[in-house]
């Protein structure tokens, strides 16, 4: 079973981008490589229960178990030692990636309070897009009663586009609601 967003990419996005950017081969059309979901928390170093709750929430949202990221070096000003857990991260590829992006665009963004669209200026110069989600409760997998603390996370959408213009067009054809 092919994900809805992947079939939309193959049926509509590829021909539209080939016509718009005058590609000669379908393999030149930019595609999604991976999506990295990253959640950092400074309190996770002192309290292991916060880190476990973050892992549980992120695994429900992404459908994949997150890895624990650790501090690379000690920073005395932050009361941080080397190899102390400071956050979690998930790298999504393939069908899981398309499923997550579909839920992000069609379920999470519309449920965000006062949502006007995502910024078209969050590209990194090479066609990759970064967006921050301020609250994990916008995803329907998270029960409102089970939330002990509001947590946000970052989503990095990595594409094979060569420029920001190509990356933005790819994401807008996939349904990303950019501001005008």
- The pTM (predicted TM-score) of the whole model is 0.87
Using only C-alpha atoms, the chain has a radius of gyration, in whole angstroms, of 18
User: Domain 31-174: which topology?
Assistant: 50s Ribosomal Protein L5; Chain: A, (3.30.1440)
pLDDT 10s per residue in the chain (180 long)?
Answer: 668 889 999 999 999 999 999 999 999 999 999 999 998 876 666 777 888 888 888 898 898 999 998 888 988 887 788 888 888 999 999 999 999 999 899 888 888 888 888 999 999 988 899 999 888 778 888 877 777 777 888 999 999 999 999 999 999 999 999 987
- Percentage of the chain with pLDDT > 90? 42
| Per-domain boundaries in the chain | 31-174
Q: In terms of Cα–Cα distance, which of 123, 159, 125 is closest to 33?
A: 159
pLDDT in tens, 11-44: 999 999 999 999 999 999 999 999 999 988 766 6
């Amino acid at each position: 079973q092919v994900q809805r967003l992947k079939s939309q990419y193959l049926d509509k996005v590829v021909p539209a981008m080939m016509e718009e950017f005058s590609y000669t081969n379908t393999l030149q059309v930019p595609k999604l490589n991976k999506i990295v979901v990253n959640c950092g928390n400074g309190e996770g170093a002192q309290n292991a229960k916060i880190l476990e709750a973050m892992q549980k929430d992120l695994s429900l949202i992404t459908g994949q178990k997150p890895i624990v990221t650790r501090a690379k070096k000690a920073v005395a000003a932050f009361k941080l030692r080397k190899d102390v857990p400071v956050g979690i991260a998930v790298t999504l590829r393939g069908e899981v990636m398309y499923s997550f992006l579909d839920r992000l665009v069609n379920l999470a963004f519309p449920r965000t309070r006062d949502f006007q669209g995502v910024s078209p200026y969050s590209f990194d110069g090479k066609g990759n897009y970064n967006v921050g989600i301020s609250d994990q409760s916008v995803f329907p997998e998270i029960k409102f009663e089970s939330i002990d603390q509001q947590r946000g996370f970052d989503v990095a959408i990595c594409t094979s586009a060569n420029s920001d213009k190509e990356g933005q067009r790819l994401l807008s054809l996939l349904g990303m609601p950019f501001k005008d």
